[in-house]
Structure 1
Amino acid sequence: MDTPTNWRKSSFSGSTNECVEIADLADGGRAVRDSKRPDDGFFRFTAGEWSAFISGVKAGEFDQ
């Protein structure tokens, strides 16, 4: 499994490193890692899983 190289984090994170980073995968999925511990690995999500997650965020499913 290749490690993505195109990591990016939200512009909302400012200058802190306390956020997650995402990377696009060749198959349309996404990889997610902790920006404070990038060498600890990452989670891989399919395009369908990522789409469902984004839809949930937009619908407020994770709001507290």
Structure 2
Amino acid sequence: VAERSIYGLLGPNGAGKTTTIRMIMNIIVPDAGAVRLFGRLGGGRAMSHRIGYLPEERGLYKKMRVFDL
């Protein structure tokens, strides 16, 4: 994915789009494998701050602070 590009994640219900985004945003941890983001192993706050995420449903995540939102 080229730098400064905007992409969407599309697929049918149940395909894993939300789970994938949550792993990229470090909201949940993958059961296996790893997330690579911007050429680095993903999962850190610095990485997730470079991504916009607008979920359909509202919710609070236990490990997130107000600053993280």
TM-score normalised per structure 1:
0.28
When you count strand as a share of all residues, which structure comes out higher?
Answer: 1
Higher helix share: 1
Q: TM-score, normalised by structure 2?
A: 0.27
